[in-house]
């Protein structure tokens, strides 16, 4: 006989545990099922561990620049990768332990460890137990995609998960993919001391961004010693002597051969939906395996929702968390919140970081609306000069008719924090004139936001 409950949550990423907790607090007997690690990708092998290592890499980078600040070190800077990994592991363990303790103490919530599969629209089997509930929420996340190059199955391939297990410095890391994950690892490992080569099929890095953003991010990493090859075609992989990896490819019409010690796949992610028994439940997916949902995250099956990376409506921790807020508000508070209410916002955590909100310049141009653009190089920002970090720029896009922000790209020191003042203004529908009159604290980077807005000019005058 099936075990009856009020709600089943499959997966404990950023949406699952918090939704389960709210359902349980509302008096619903809730089961949370997790097959591996509580916290999902973000906590275990995504945001938290990678940004912890980015912090270690930045410390090494700043130490090497100590003389620029009048600080003298009596010897070369060395990196202990075992200590770096141990620090990362401690931070991750603290997060997982905190989440585990919190969930274990919640009334009406049962945590089951195991792999869940649908057996019908409202029944799930995990281990030897079948659970039945009128409401089921899928939050199973995603995993890395490996390139389908000939010979790829003959060599070890790292991804964001297996990279977290390394306690040695790669001699030469070959990164496949010049997008967000690939670039973060490329700069990180270069700062630790590895030789790094990045291979990208597109003609530039982070191709979804405006060309000037791509060029500057590439230039920043190249100045630190990262090598890029774009327009990669016909790549083939083979084992080389001593456990090394040989890659033959064509880039820009030139045949190249690269030999590295490690190969990292960072070309994208796929949803963890292929082993959930979705067909047995009649749950629809798209061609890529993402569970199709409406604007309130409901699937085509009554009483089943999909949240987080598995629904294709967002690929970030913050969008997954917002998914849970939407579902909880609509179910428990009588709300009418929708995915389409949220604005696009994300960051690339290189150093300096790239923070992006709203529309890009290319998207604004494609919309054909009258718009204004303002650009301010960081060399004009006193706070950046004080700290010796003047790489990058700030750019904003404004609707010329409504005087409202359309989007922004902040590639600058603390850009990932500064951008939220602009994001909040967009959510609050605040006119740009109000932001221009704001009095900010000196000396900060944020104080240049009014100055940046004073640079606005018609978009057609700015060359794409």
- The domain boundary, picked from 324, 341, 358, lies at 341
427-446 pLDDT, tens digit each:
999 999 999 999 999 999 99
What pLDDT, on a 0 to 100 scale, did the predictor assign at position 461? Answer: 63
59-117 pLDDT, tens digit each:
999 999 999 999 999 999 999 999 999 999 999 999 999 999 999 999 999 999 999 99
Q: Mark whether 38 and 79 lie in a shared domain.
A: yes
**Residue among 364, 257, 306 nearest 9 (CA):** 306
304-319 pLDDT, tens digit each:
999 999 999 998 999 9
Q: Mark whether 384 and 444 lie in a shared domain.
A: yes
Residue 462 lies in a domain: no
Q: Mark whether 244 and 200 lie in a shared domain.
A: yes
Total structural domains within the chain: 3
What pLDDT, on a 0 to 100 scale, did the predictor assign at position 315? Answer: 87
Q: Among 146, 324, 437, 442, which one carries the catalytic annotation?
A: 442
Rg over alpha carbons for the chain, rounded to the nearest Å, is 24
Residue 460 lies in a domain: no
Query: Is the pLDDT assigned to residue 393 strictly greater than 70?
Result: yes
Whole-angstrom distance, CA of residue 256 vs CA of residue 275: 39
Q: Mark whether 139 and 275 lie in a shared domain.
A: yes
- Banded model confidence at residue 1, pLDDT cuts 50, 70, 90: confident
322-369 pLDDT, tens digit each:
999 999 999 999 999 999 999 999 999 999 999 999 999 999 999 999
Query: Is the pLDDT assigned to residue 119 strictly greater than 70?
Result: yes
Query: Is the pLDDT assigned to residue 185 strictly greater than 60?
Result: yes
Mean pLDDT across 141-163: 96
How many Cβ atoms from other residues are within 10 Å of residue 114's Cβ? 14
- The domain boundary, picked from 325, 341, 357, lies at 341
Residue 461 lies in a domain: no
Query: Is the pLDDT assigned to residue 244 strictly greater than 80?
Result: yes
pLDDT above 70 coverage of the chain, percent: 99
What pLDDT, on a 0 to 100 scale, did the predictor assign at position 241? Answer: 87
Mean pLDDT across 27-31: 98
- The verdict on whether 442 is a catalytic residue reads yes
Mean pLDDT across 379-395: 97
Q: Which residue has the tokens 């990208």?
A: 200
What pLDDT, on a 0 to 100 scale, did the predictor assign at position 44? Answer: 94
Residue 56 lies in a domain: yes
Mean pLDDT across 364-384: 97
What pLDDT, on a 0 to 100 scale, did the predictor assign at position 462? Answer: 60
Mean pLDDT across 22-49: 95
CATH number for the domain spanning 129: value is 3.50.50.60
Q: Which residues pair with 298 in a beta bridge?
A: 305
Query: Is the pLDDT assigned to residue 133 strictly greater than 60?
Result: yes
Q: Mark whether 286 and 355 lie in a shared domain.
A: no
- The domain boundary, picked from 313, 341, 369, lies at 341
Q: Mark whether 162 and 184 lie in a shared domain.
A: yes
Considering the chain, what is the average pLDDT of its residues? 96
Give residue 451's domain range.
345-455
Query: Is the pLDDT assigned to residue 464 strictly greater than 60?
Result: no
Whole-angstrom distance, CA of residue 464 vs CA of residue 449: 22
- Banded model confidence at residue 5, pLDDT cuts 50, 70, 90: very high
37/215: higher pLDDT: 215
Residue 36 lies in a domain: yes
Q: Mark whether 240 and 281 lie in a shared domain.
A: no
Region for 179 from its dihedrals, namely left if φ exceeds 0, alpha if ψ lies in -120 to 50, beta otherwise: beta
Residue 13 lies in a domain: yes
Residue 463 lies in a domain: no
Residue 203 lies in a domain: yes
Q: Mark whether 210 and 179 lie in a shared domain.
A: yes
Q: Mark whether 56 and 101 lie in a shared domain.
A: yes
Q: Mark whether 20 and 114 lie in a shared domain.
A: yes
Q: Mark whether 179 and 203 lie in a shared domain.
A: yes
CATH number for the domain spanning 445: value is 3.30.390.30
Q: Mark whether 86 and 194 lie in a shared domain.
A: no
């Amino acid at each position: 006989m099936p075990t009856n409950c009020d709600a089943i949550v499959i997966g404990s990423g950023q949406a699952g545990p918090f939704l389960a907790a709210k359902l349980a607090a509302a008096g619903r007997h809730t089961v949370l099922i997790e097959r591996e690690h509580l916290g999902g990708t973000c906590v275990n092998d995504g945001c938290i561990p990678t940004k912890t290592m980015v912090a270690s890499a930045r410390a090494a980078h700043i130490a090497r620049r100590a003389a620029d600040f009048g600080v003298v070190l009596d010897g070369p800077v060395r990196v202990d990768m075992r200590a770096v990994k141990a620090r990362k592991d401690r931070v991750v363990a603290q997060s997982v332990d905190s989440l585990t303790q919190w969930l274990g103490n919640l009334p009406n919530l049962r945590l089951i460890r195991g792999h869940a599969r649908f057996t019908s629209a409202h029944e799930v089997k995990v281990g030897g137990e079948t659970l039945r509930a009128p409401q089921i929420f899928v939050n199973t996340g995603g995993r890395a995609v490996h390139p389908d190059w000939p010979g790829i199955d003959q060599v070890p391939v790292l991804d964001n998960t297996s990279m977290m297990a390394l306690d040695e410095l790669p001699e030469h890391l070959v990164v496949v993919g010049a997008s967000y994950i690939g670039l973060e690892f490329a700069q990180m490992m270069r700062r630790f001391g590895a030789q790094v080569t990045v291979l990208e099929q597109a003609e530039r890095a982070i191709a979804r961004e405006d060309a000037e953003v791509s060029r500057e991010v590439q230039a920043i990493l190249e100045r630190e010693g990262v090598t890029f090859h774009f327009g990669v075609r016909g790549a083939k992989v083979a084992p080389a002597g001593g456990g090394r990896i040989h890659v033959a490819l064509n880039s820009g019409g030139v045949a190249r051969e690269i030999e590295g010690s490690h190969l990292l796949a960072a070309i994208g992610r796929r949803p963890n939906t292929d082993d959930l028994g979705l067909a047995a439940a009649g749950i629809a997916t798209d061609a890529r395996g993402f569970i199709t949902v409406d604007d309130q995250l409901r699937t085509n099956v009554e009483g089943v929702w999909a949240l987080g990376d598995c629904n294709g409506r967002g690929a970030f921790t913050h969008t997954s968390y917002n998914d849970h807020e939407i579902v909880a508000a609509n179910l428990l508070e009588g709300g009418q919140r929708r995915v389409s209410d949220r604005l696009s916002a994300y960051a690339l955590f290189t150093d300096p970081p790239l923070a992006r909100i709203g529309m890009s310049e290319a998207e604004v141009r494609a919309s054909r609306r009258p718009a204004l653009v303002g650009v301010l190089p960081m060399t004009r920002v006193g706070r950046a000069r004080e700290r010796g970090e003047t790489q990058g720029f700030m750019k904003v896009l404004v609707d010329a008719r409504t005087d409202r922000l359309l989007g922004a790209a902040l590639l600058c020191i603390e850009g990932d924090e500064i951008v939220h003042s602009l994001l909040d203004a967009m959510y609050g529908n605040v006119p740009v004139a109000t932001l221009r009159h704001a009095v900010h604290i000196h000396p900060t980077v944020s104080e240049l936001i009014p100055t940046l807005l004073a640079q606005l000019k018609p978009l057609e005058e700015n060359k794409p």
